Chain A
Amino acid sequence: MDINMTLVGQLIAFVVFVIFCMKYVWPPIIGAIEERQAIIADGLAASDRAAKDLELAQEKAKTQLKDAKVQAASIVDAAKKLEAKIVEETAGKAQVEKDRILATGHAEIETERNRAREDLRKEVAILAVAGAEKILERSIDAAAHSDILDKLVAEL
């Protein structure tokens, strides 16, 4: 082995190369690597967050759907109740109307009947008087025998 100035030359080259590498080579490359690592880490975190958000949104949508179903059911129920009430009310009104009309009809019929009866009664009274006159062959003083006639009429 002969050791000579080559060693010194190599040492100088070594120092120069290391300094150059430290100043101009290492920092930009490692910087780029670390920056990219940060970007990738951020991206992964964001995708994780997005997945979690999606899950939450799905959960929320499910809850909202359930709520909406319950609400719809209650609205339908209320509508059915309202319908039943309206039907009932209408039926009640119709009944009242029917009763009223019936009552009016009855009253009219009663009036007619009463009038007919009154007419009949008068006829009968006249007929009775005429019959009696025939039987008695004399006239009857209607005024004198009105009490009998009245009694007769009342009996009819």
Chain B
Amino acid sequence: MSSGAELTSQEYITHHLANLKVGDGFMAVHLDSLGWSVFLGLVFLTIFRSVAKKATPGVPGKLQCAVEMVVGFVDDSVKSTFHGKNELIAPLSLTIFVWVLLMNSMDWVPVDLLPHLIHWATGMPLGDIYMKPVPTADPNITFGLALGVFILIIFYSIKVKGVGGFMKELTTQPFGHWSLYPVNFILETVTMLARPLSLALRLFGNLYAGELIFLLIATIGLFQLPVHFLWAAFHLLVIPLQAFIFMMLTIVYLSLAHEDH
């Protein structure tokens, strides 16, 4: 915590939780979140594409083995939950899993490392540097992902069941009587909206909390190093688990959208 002895802990944390922002109001863009998110997505696609180009059914190289492990894991997860035929769900799940995993992994980057690197490279005063490198600790990013999944849920619900079938599903259950159809509709709509909401908030909450604790640890002075280590070690569980949960729930929601009642 050397971003300035004049800062109080609260100011320090507030400063570190602020994004690098361009624009105002709704038109603003968080350059750090979106930049890291796109960068990590490109890292994922570059690595996997380089393997895909040279993929051989013969003896695989070491990188191909690693990539195939991830692909096989995702493929097994999809096949164990989703039993229809859909060309999109498996690559969608792979993208979500690896991308979210990489974005979550930014949590391991020490909270002051990047601001200090920028300070060292550009000479900007630390107080002016805003750099929040964990994209999934930004609700915009998690809601962006969840919104994509939500659009797919609606799209496949209508595609598989038709508009009538989808509306019927929204209105005729859980209560069978016609007079309760409006109640059903409200309940089902809430259920429907709760899916992307919970998806986004769960990921955001976990990573935001993780980031916050890292910042709190960074304020305790000399003894922060072992505590940092412990908290980072704990994230060995949190980071892959949250990526897996996001992927798994996406598969479950999409397979529900494919189910005809």
Contact = CB atoms under 8 A, between A and B. Distances in A.
Given A26-B91, A28-B55, A35-B57, A9 B49 contact: no
Interface in B34-88: 34, 37-38, 41, 44-45, 48-49, 51-53, 55-58, 60, 64, 67-68, 71-72, 75, 87-88
A28 B53 contact: yes
B72 A33 contact: yes
B212 interface: no
B192 interface: no
Interface stretch (A15-23, A62-70, A144-152): A15-23
Contacts of B145: 10-11, 14
A9 B95 CA distance: 16
Given A4-B29, A6-B28, A25 B140 contact: no
* A interface, size bucket: 20 to 34
B140 to A, nearest CB: 4
Nearest to B142: A10
B19 to A, nearest CB: 8
B144 A14 contact: yes
B110 interface: no
Given A2-B28, A10-B37, A32-B68, A22 B92 contact: yes
B232 interface: no
B30 A4 contact: yes
A92 B25 CA distance: 135
Nearest to B24: A4
A21 B38 contact: no
Q: Main SS of the interface on chain B?
A: helix
Contacts of B28: 2, 4-6
A102 B140 CA distance: 136
Contacts of B87: 22
A8 B58 CA distance: 42
Nearest to B68: A33
A33 B71 contact: yes
A17 B99 contact: yes
B37 A21 contact: no
A32 B30 contact: no
Q: Main SS of the interface on chain A?
A: helix
Contacts of A31: 55, 57
Nearest to A20: B45
B107 to A, nearest CB: 18
Given A24-B52, A29-B48, A8 B144 contact: yes
A8 B139 CA distance: 12
A39 interface: yes
B256 interface: no
Contacts of A3: 26, 139-140, 143
A154 interface: no
A13 interface: yes
Given A25-B49, A29-B48, 9 more contacts: A5-B27, A10-B33, A13-B34, A14-B144, A14-B145, A17-B95, A20-B49, A30-B90, A32-B68
26 contacts: A3-B26, A3-B140, A4-B26, A4-B28, A6-B29, A6-B141, A7-B141, A10-B37, A10-B135, A13-B37, A13-B41, A14-B95, A14-B144, A15-B148, A18-B92, A21-B45, A21-B94, A22-B88, A22-B91, A27-B52, A29-B48, A30-B75, A32-B57, A32-B64, A33-B68, A36-B58
